[in-house]
């Protein structure tokens, strides 16, 4: 079933922020806001839940640290022990200060690369995916607020015009 949505265009991020707050205060549900660049505080103004990506980043870093410790213990202690700088080659703990840079680098490597993969999967951004933005101007200099219409088209138009919208379009979704 297709539904009608209203697209309100803004040409300033400050005007958009005030418009989002005014629309939320009027108890309308904003489906999406398309911006050419990140707008600080927009997620809080829209009432979006905080992201859990930081938790995943910490977990990926722990995985990287575990892989680093396991890899170094196997390579440097069990499989091919070497006398490097007079350090004993039979104990991981006694060699650990020399392994700290490797542990740090693999922690960052795993966290960074797995976060990129997680972000692409979570936001459904696949290679060669068609853009989903409703208007090409949202990639250049306009901001678009999308609100679903439920038999309140006239009052919603009036509200959006009062917030400083430069253009209002009604489309089928």
Q: Domain range holding 67? A: 53-122
Chain centroid, CA 123 distance in Å: 7
Q: Answer yes or no: is 127 within a domain.
A: no
Q: Answer yes or no: is 107 within a domain.
A: yes
How much is the pLDDT for 122?
A: 87
Q: DSSP string covering 66-130, please?
A: HHHHHHHIIIIIIIS----TT--SS-HHHHHHHHHHHHHHHHHHHHHHHHHHHHHHHTT--TTPP
Q: Answer yes or no: is 128 within a domain.
A: no
pLDDT band at 135 (very low <50, low <70, confident <90, very high): confident
How much is the pLDDT for 1?
A: 47
3-state secondary structure of 24: helix
- pLDDT of 102 above 50: yes
Both 108 and 163 in a single domain? no
Residue 87 neighbours by CB distance under 10 Å: 13
Both 63 and 114 in a single domain? yes
Phi, psi of 93 (to 5 degrees): -65, -35
Query: CB of 4 within 8 A of CB of 168?
Result: no
Both 70 and 22 in a single domain? no
Global pTM exceeds 0.85: no
Q: Answer yes or no: is 15 within a domain.
A: yes
């Amino acid at each position: 079933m297709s539904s009608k949505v209203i697209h309100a265009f803004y040409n300033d991020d400050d005007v958009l922020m005030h418009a989002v707050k005014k629309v939320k205060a009027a108890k309308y549900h904003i489906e999406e806001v398309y911006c050419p660049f990140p707008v600080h505080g927009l997620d809080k103004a829209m009432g979006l839940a905080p992201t859990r990506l930081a938790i995943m980043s910490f977990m990926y870093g722990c995985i990287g640290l575990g892989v680093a410790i396991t890899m170094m213990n196997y390579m440097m202690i069990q499989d091919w022990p070497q006398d490097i700088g007079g350090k004993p080659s039979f104990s991981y703990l006694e060699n650990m200060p020399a392994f700290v840079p490797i542990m740090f680098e693999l922690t960052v490597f795993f966290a960074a690369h797995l976060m990129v993969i997680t972000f692409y999967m979570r936001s459904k951004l696949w290679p060669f995916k068609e853009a989903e933005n409703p208007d090409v101007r949202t990639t250049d200099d306009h901001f678009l607020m999308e609100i679903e219409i439920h038999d309140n088209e006239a009052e919603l138009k009036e509200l959006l015009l009062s917030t400083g919208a430069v253009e209002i379009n009604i489309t089928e979704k």
